[in-house]
Chains A and B, each alone.
Chain A
């Protein structure tokens, strides 16, 4: 990209330094989390500044071992995984066909564009507005403190991602392949399953990853609707007694356990993130 033509050597160096500073700032919190989780508890406050491992202290995996052998962390991690996987499955199962219908067929009474915007409009709704009716509803249905309740709600609030982004993925596929299949006597459904779906698969995997990450990070519903059995990891993180003190080592280890999975997913689907998070409004 030759956008800047005349760039002097000095300017290039300044730019590189600035870029490095920006990156250092962006990863600082994560770096701090990792480093603190590797510190022996006794040395938490004796090491000053940014605490470079190996140079300033000998890193240990003790905190991770302790944390992962705690019954409650294992249990809440499992809950988080179950809720994220099933909520994503429901969102994709409902959302991908809807996205396909919006991409390939004309709707008359409500135009395709308005339907798409209607699906999107849920993301506008602040969760705190609906958390009280959901609480009363789940209580009436005896679903408080169940994974099912969280799966239902998270599926609902990640559905717009599935619908809108898969719509765009299908729109970008050439329709001719499906038309040719139709001429050969292939039903619409078979054309979707055999032709469109596999071709759009890479984008759909990225959408699923975004749904998993959002469900994993979700906090308000999990906090309000669970107490013991269905508690997710973020709620455990927020509520654990010892995090209120100064036990930096456990806090950091737990924080890293919480943000590890979604950030790893983010790295895997990098190419799709701009499109995914802007609901296809900007192509990255």
Chain B
């Protein structure tokens, strides 16, 4: 690394550092301040100390959204990861049309989440939507996709798994393809069981990649908002009201800015805990 003079290094890096400070640290400080006030549109703010944070513990709607979010994150991320690994193993060999398949599998990742939710509304439509009409003709019953709390949850999960499994697949496949082949030559002499080779060689070697995928999916899953906003709007009732949606409504529908800021900080704290579990690994990657 390194050109000698380096006179341009500060002019090159400072603008973006200042920009980031201005647009992330400042709002964070601002909202930290807000969280100690009762702030409503059109009325002067009043200092309430830790009241907003105290309210968190007695807010049953918050408890619900927390439960929904954690369930959602745990289920969706583990399914995506498991399917991603399986599909990556499936595609990790010579196959006709592999590059076209791979290209098609990329598409869901870049689909606008709101649009995915809206397509979901038509797919899961209960009277004559495609899924239910197939179920009706095959089995003679249908699923109350969006009117039952449980099935609405399943519908959200299905869309999310649809959209993000390809991401897990793609990255893990890249990891698999970067493994040196010589190791396998030796392994196949010693052992003939594919499962054993996967368990003892392949998995340990792609494990760093799996960890990165896991971290990225965890971070993104805590942000979930768009798909739920357009598919269920948090309903029926509050069955799919995730944390982001609850915070958004508190702040920008009911204009309870102070409490919403406190809620935001709780979410940030949760994500920070998750990220810190991985922190050393992330730093190593950028060595």
Residues of A within 8 A of B (CB): 1-5, 7, 15-16, 18-19, 22-23, 25-27, 29-30, 32-33, 36, 45, 48-51, 94-95, 97-98, 100-107, 112-117, 119-120, 122-137, 152-153, 155-156, 159, 163-164, 171, 175, 178-179, 182, 188-189, 191-192, 213, 216-217, 219-220, 223-224, 234, 237-238, 243, 246, 248, 251-252, 254-256, 258-259, 262-263, 265-267, 270, 273-274, 277-278, 280-284
Chain A: CB-nearest residue to B158: A29
Complex Cα spacing A258 to B227, Å: 14
Q: Provide the bound-state CA to CA distance between A36 and B170, in Å.
A: 28
CB of B13 within 8 A of CB of A101, answer yes
Decide if B104 touches A33 in the complex (CB within 8 Å).
Answer: no
Of A107, A132, A251, the residue contacting B261 (CB under 8 A) is A132
| The 6 A-B residue pairs with the shortest CB-CB distance in the complex, in nearest-first order | A129-B264, A133-B27, A101-B12, A255-B115, A284-B174, A105-B9
Residues of B within 8 A of A262 (CB): 110-112
Known: A3-B92, A51-B130. A23 touches B104 (CB 8 A): yes
19 chain-A/chain-B pairs, Cβ below 8 angstroms: A3-B181, A16-B95, A19-B90, A29-B123, A94-B15, A106-B6, A113-B283, A117-B283, A125-B268, A131-B252, A132-B252, A156-B19, A188-B7, A216-B112, A217-B113, A223-B229, A254-B118, A266-B106, A281-B282
* A191 contacts B118, C-beta separation under 8 Å: no
Q: Tell me which of A122, A126, A153, A164 contacts B222 (CB under 8 A).
A: A126
Q: Indicate whether A259 sits within 8 Å of B166 (C-beta atoms), given known contacts A18-B90, A188-B8, A274-B171.
A: no
Residues of B within 8 A of A124 (CB): 219, 271-272, 275
Expressed in whole angstroms, the Cα–Cα distance for A101 and B24 within the complex equals 22
> In the docked arrangement, what's the CA distance between A2 and B261, Å?
55
Within the complex, what minimum Cβ distance (angstroms) separates A135 from chain B? Answer: 6
Alpha-carbon gap, A4 to B184, bound state (A): 9
B128 within 8 A of A: yes
Q: How far is the CA of A39 from the CA of B116 in the complex (A)?
A: 19
Q: Which residues of A contact B143 (CB under 8 A)?
A: none
Choose one: A94, A119, A188; the contact of B6 (CB below 8 Å).
Answer: A188
| Residue B133 at the chain A interface, CB threshold 8 Å | yes
B230 is an interface residue with CB less than 8 A from chain A: yes
Starting from the known contacts A182-B5, A188-B8, 11 additional A-B residue pairs (CB-CB under 8 Å) come to A33-B119, A97-B11, A98-B13, A117-B282, A123-B219, A125-B28, A127-B225, A132-B31, A156-B23, A216-B112, A270-B106
In the complex, the answer to whether A266 meets B110 with C-beta atoms within 8 Å is yes
Asked whether B248 lies within 8 Å of A224 as measured between CB atoms, the reply is yes
* Known A220-B248, A252-B122; contact A133-B261, beta-carbon cutoff 8 A: yes
The answer to whether A277 and B1 touch across the interface, beta carbons within 8 angstroms, is no
Report if B190 contacts A (CB, 8 A).
no
In angstroms, Cα B231 to Cα A206, docked, is 31
Quick one: closest B residue to A136, CB to CB?
B257
Q: CA A252 – CA B106 in complex, angstroms?
A: 20
CB pair A15–B90 under 8 Å, yes or no, is yes
Separation of A239 and B181 alpha carbons in the complex (Å): 53
Q: Mark B106-132, 1 if CB is under 8 A from A, else 0.
A: 111111111110111111010010100
Q: Whose C-beta in chain A lies nearest to the C-beta of B206?
A: A282
Most A Cβ at <10 Å: residue of B171, B264, B286? B286
CB of B261 within 8 A of CB of A284, answer no
Indicate if the CB atoms of A128 and B162 lie closer than 8 Å: no
Contact A263 B111 (CB under 8 A): yes
Residue of B nearest to A192 (CB): B8
Asked if B23 and A152 make an inter-chain contact with CB atoms under 8 angstroms apart, the answer reads yes
Contact across chains for A156 and B121 when beta carbons are under 8 A apart: no
| Contact among B15, B108, B272 for A29, CB-based, below 8 A | B108
Closest to A30 in B: B107
Distance to closest chain A CB from B190 (angstroms): 13
Closest approach, in angstroms, between the C-beta of B217 and any C-beta of chain A?
11
Bound Cα distance A32, B130 (Å): 9
